[in-house]
Amino acid sequence: MGAEEQNLLKTPLFSLHEELGGKMVPFAGYLMPVQYPLGVMGEHNHTREKAGLFDVSHMGQVVITGNNADEWLETLVPGNIIDLKENRIRYTTFTNEDGGILDDLMITKRNEDIFMVVNAACKEQDIAHMRAALPDHLELTELTDRALVALQGPVAASVLARFADGVDEMPFMSYTEAEIDGVACFISRCGYTGEDGHEISIPAEHAQAVCRKLLAEAEVEAIGLGARDSLRLEAGLCLYGHDITTETTPAEGALNWSIGKRRREEGGFPGAEKILAQINSGETETLRVGILPSGRAPAREGTEILDADDNVIGQITSGGFGPTFGGPVAMGYVKSEFSKVGTEVFLQVRKKKLEAKVAAMPFVEQRYYRKSK
């Protein structure tokens, strides 16, 4: 093991991953399971068919306490946080003065405070970014003593309800606190696979016990980062650092849906001038789109997108094989005039110029929970 690997952090579930045969790889400063003996394809399909358990403890969990923390957060993110109802969750982004995206995150308004989940690779920077702007009356705490897991898939909610009564009735993007096997957990009905499911924040010392209980259910398998990536790609969801970066704005990243009407009218977040000009005019130089290669060859990140005359018109930012879709899927940025669904484009994959089309996302229908009336 090299010096670099020795410095890698381990989540509270590390020994469980090893016990389960997880293949551990460095990821965002942590040693994380990329796959288990079931394999990426098997894990992907299992999640779409039943329920998969993902360790996402490397992500940052942060709490902000104090009066009007929601108002203050709106100075950092374009999302509508003030009007967020208690125990509801919102997806938003930290932006910079140029309108670029510093990170994407989930914000939960709780009874007394605000709970946030941020990306592993960005968490230190996010916390420094918030601390630099934090008023005296607010307190920021990183919850370093908690694990975070996601239970995702069509039967995930019903499995979790065996341990925590009623969680299968929670609305999509809502939050509750409940005991699982006697352990007090934060339970959020969200995830990043396109499937129904929950994210569960567990005190670190009980994380293995809770996960063992969940994994003991017949429908649940442990799922690694490999399948997490193919699932979120099929669901059309952005991976920070790849599909969205400081070089892309929310408008360019096709994330206008995450900026509500009031914020569009009032602005007041970093980069508002640029982002709102893009939203109001409906014009950006480039736009994130889905790309469907017409053959069987996957187009990976960094693949150039060309027009019929071999001009480079964009680049793939995430691409691979979609096991549920049954073929290669990708997303990337193209010059806006090429962003219409159905536009024929070409992909420079190694020495071959392959045909592809701009396609609507998600590639696999999202199955988030919608309460039947």
Partner 1 sequence: MTVYYSEDHEWISVNGNEGTVGITDYAQNALGDIVFVEVPEVGDDFAKGDEVAVVESVKAASEIYAPVGGEITAVNEELEDNAALVNSSPDGDGWFYKVNIADADELEGLMDADGYKAFVAGLE
The residue among 314 and 320 lying less far from partner 1, judged by its C-beta, is 320
Ranges of beta strands (E only) in the chain are 23-27, 30-35, 51-55, 60-65, 88-95, 101-109, 113-118, 139-142, 146-152, 175-180, 183-188, 197-203, 220-223, 286-293, 304-306, 312-322, 327-335, 344-349, 352-359
| Binding piece for partner 1, criterion CB under 8 A, among 121-129, 179-187, 305-313, 317-325 | 317-325
Q: Is residue 35 close enough to count as binding partner 1 by CB under 8 A?
A: yes
Q: Is residue 47 close enough to count as binding partner 1 by CB under 8 A?
A: no
| Binding piece for partner 1, criterion CB under 8 A, among 35-43, 85-93, 144-152, 329-337 | 35-43
CA-CA distance, 145 to 163, in Å (whole number)?
22
- Contact (CB, 8 A) for 194 and 234: yes
Binding residue (CB under 8 A) for partner 1 from 85, 131, 296, 370: 296
Binding residue (CB under 8 A) for partner 1 from 52, 271, 328, 332: 328
DSSP 78: S
Q: Is residue 28 close enough to count as binding partner 1 by CB under 8 A?
A: no
Q: Is residue 297 close enough to count as binding partner 1 by CB under 8 A?
A: yes
Token couple for 9: 């952090």
Give CA torsion, residues 151, 156, 162, 166, to 10 deg.
100
Task: Quickly count: other Cβ atoms within 10 Å of residue 216's Cβ.
Answer: 8
Token couple for 55: 């360790």
Q: Is residue 1 close enough to count as binding partner 1 by CB under 8 A?
A: no
Among the listed residues 201, 253, 277, 283, the one whose alpha carbon sits nearest the alpha carbon of residue 92: 253
Mark residues 241-270: x for contact with partner 1 by CB under 8 A, - for none.
------------------------------
Among the listed residues 360, 92, 364, the one whose alpha carbon sits nearest the alpha carbon of residue 240: 92
CB of 230 to partner 1, least distance (A): 6
- Contact (CB, 8 A) for 189 and 174: yes
Q: Is residue 320 close enough to count as binding partner 1 by CB under 8 A?
A: yes
DSSP for 101-125, written as a single string = EEEEEEEEE-SSEEEEEE-GGGHHH
Q: Is residue 2 close enough to count as binding partner 1 by CB under 8 A?
A: no
Q: Is residue 41 close enough to count as binding partner 1 by CB under 8 A?
A: yes
Give 270's Cβ-side CA count (13 Å radius). Answer: 21
Tokens 């990426």 correspond to 40
CB of 184 to partner 1, least distance (A): 36
CB of 298 to partner 1, least distance (A): 5
| Binding piece for partner 1, criterion CB under 8 A, among 92-100, 129-137, 267-275, 290-298 | 290-298
Q: Is residue 332 close enough to count as binding partner 1 by CB under 8 A?
A: no
Among the listed residues 174, 177, 151, 148, the one whose alpha carbon sits nearest the alpha carbon of residue 164: 177
CB of 40 to partner 1, least distance (A): 4
DSSP 187: E
| Binding piece for partner 1, criterion CB under 8 A, among 40-48, 66-74, 118-126, 265-273 | 40-48
Q: Is residue 44 close enough to count as binding partner 1 by CB under 8 A?
A: yes
| Binding piece for partner 1, criterion CB under 8 A, among 141-149, 171-179, 213-221, 297-305 | 297-305
- Contact (CB, 8 A) for 241 and 318: no
CB of 238 to partner 1, least distance (A): 18
The residue among 102 and 349 lying less far from partner 1, judged by its C-beta, is 349
Q: Is residue 34 close enough to count as binding partner 1 by CB under 8 A?
A: yes
Summarize as ranges the residues that interact with partner 1 (CB under 8 A): 34-35, 39-42, 44, 226, 229-230, 296-298, 300, 320-321, 323, 328, 350, 352
